[in-house]
Amino acid sequence: MSILERHFQDISKKHPNATLELQSGGTAVVSMPAVQLPKGWNRAEVGIKFVVPAGYPQAAPDCFWAEPALALEHGGTPQNTGQQATPGVPSEWLWFSWHSSTWKPNSDNLLTYLNVIRRRLGEAR
């Protein structure tokens, strides 16, 4: 079992509906169908996806995507978002240009990056 598969098992224990799709070139896409959102967004939950790079865990996941039509509560567009096509993610999904400020490949994992995503979504701006 690869380190990616082991780390994905940790996510799937807490989020049984999560999926891992291997892509060509050694990348993978993690999908989370219903991530809870705090007040400040136009919905209570959203599906997200993020790409696991080929060099994982030495290379950190970077950026994430949310289901289309996610907006701020007042209808505005979230900061640091746009359209960015990538294999394994539907082109209409909202791209969040959001990066981990630190990554320690010997101790960080997919749950670490999921927490980065949750922190960003916790800031409805």
**pLDDT 10s digits, 4-44:** 999 999 999 999 999 999 999 999 999 999 999 999 999 99
Distance (Å, whole) CA 66 – CA 44: 13
CA 89, 94, 100 angle in degrees (round to 5)?
85
Name the domain count of the chain: 1
Domain range for 61: 3-122
pTM recorded for the entire structure: 0.94
**pLDDT 10s digits, 44-94:** 999 999 999 999 999 999 999 999 999 999 999 999 999 998 999 999 999
- What lies within 8 Å, CB to CB, of 42 at 6+ separation is 69, 70, 71, 72, 73, 75
The CATH number of the domain where 115 resides is what?
Answer: 3.10.110
